[in-house]
Structure 1
Amino acid sequence: MYSKDQASQLKQAFWTAFGQYMGPVMPADGLRTNWINYKTGVKHIYFKMQADNKLAGIAIEISHPDTELQELFFEQFTTYKALLHNVLQEEWEWQLHTTDEYGKIVSRIYIELNQVSIFQREDWPKLISFFKPRIIALDEFWSNAKYAFEV
C-alpha cells in the first residue's frame, strides 16, 4: 500500500513518462499539443485518460451543466458514431447522463482496460500501449469532426 504522497508521485511519474513518449507524435492538424491534457477547443467536451490501481480508461466526456444541451452534444456525437468507430477500429461504450467521480452529471463515450495498475511500473507498457493509439485516433477523429461542435 502506498501513502498518498507516494501514490501521487507514481501517478505523476507515469503521466510524465507518457507525455515524453508522446512528445514526438504530431497531431493530425500538425500543431503541437499536450496529449495528456488534450484541448478539444470546445467548452464542456474533454478527452480524458485515467488510470488507478484496477483499470485504465479513455473517454470523450461531455460535461455541459445543462443536461438538455449535454444530450444534444451526445446526439451530435451519435451522428459521427460510424466515423469515430472507423477511426478507433473498435467499439466504445456510450453512456448518456451518468455521474463522474464528483457526482456531477456527464455523458461519456469510453473504453476501459481492466486488471492494470498505474502503481505497478511493470504495467506501464500496457497502459502506454492502451492510451497511445486511442488518443492519436481521437485526435484524428476530432480534426475532422470538431467543426460540427463549435458554437
Structure 2
Amino acid sequence: MYTKEEAKAIKIGFWDGFKRYSKKRGRKMTSWVLKGTQIKEVQLKFDLNEQGAFVMLQVDSKLDANRLSVFESFEKYKPVIDETCGQELVWNKHYFIKDFKEVSVMYYHLPDVSIFNKEDWEKCYDFFFKHMTILEEAFLDVKEVVMYRA
C-alpha cells in the first residue's frame, strides 16, 4: 500500500508521462478537446481507476432532463458515431460514478491495468491516445447538430 504522498507522486508521474507520450506523437495535452467541447454538459475524459483505463465522452448536468436530452441527441447519430468508433464503444445512458452521481457516457474500456503498475503505463498511453483520437473525431463529426438540438 502507498501513502497519500506516494500515490500522488505516482499519479503525477503517470500523467506527466502521458503528456510526453502525446507530445512525441504530435499532440500537446492542451490540443485535446476534453473540456473545450463548447457543449456545456459534455466532456471528453481520460480516466484510470480500479476498474481499468477509460476514454469517455461524459454527459453531465444538474438536471437529469438536460443530461438525457443531450445524450439522446448523440444517440440519434449513433450509426455515424459507431462507424467512426467501432463496436467496442459502450453506450450507457445511466452510468453511476462511484455511487456519487448519475451521468450518461460513451466509453472505451481497457480492463486489468493499474496506475500503480509502471509496466501498464505504455499500454495505457497507447490506449488513451488511440481511442481519444477516434472518440474526438466522432464527437467533432456530430458536434454542430448536437449543439443546436431543438
The equivalent residue for 2:11 is 11
After TM superposition, the score normalised by the length of structure 2 is 0.85
C-alpha distance in 1, partners of 2:33/2:117?
19
Q: Which runs of 5 or more structure 1 residues have no equivalent in the other structure? A: none
Give the structure with the higher percent helix.
2
Residues 2-151 of structure 1 aligned to structure 2 (within 5 Å): 2-23=2-23, 24-26=25-27, 33-35=30-32, 37-101=34-98, 103-151=100-148
Alignment RMSD (CA, Å): 2.2
Counterpart Cα distance in 1 of 2:135 and 2:35: 10
Tell me the secondary structure at the aligned position of residue 147 of structure 2.
coil
Q: Percent identity?
A: 28
Superposed CA offset, 1:104-133 (max 9, x none): 221111121111111111111110111111
**TM-score, structure 1 as length reference:** 0.85
Amino acid at match of 1:83: V
Give how far 1:34 is off: 4.0
Alpha-carbon distance in structure 1 between the residues aligned to 2:116 and 2:81 = 31
> What is the distance in 2 between the residues matched to 1:4 and 1:117?
16
- Count of aligned positions: 147
Per-residue CA shift, 1:73-119, capped at 9, x if unaligned?
11111122122222123332221123223612211111211111111
- Unpaired runs of 5+ in structure 2? none
Aligned partner of residue 33 in structure 1, secondary structure: helix
Moved over 4 A (4+): none
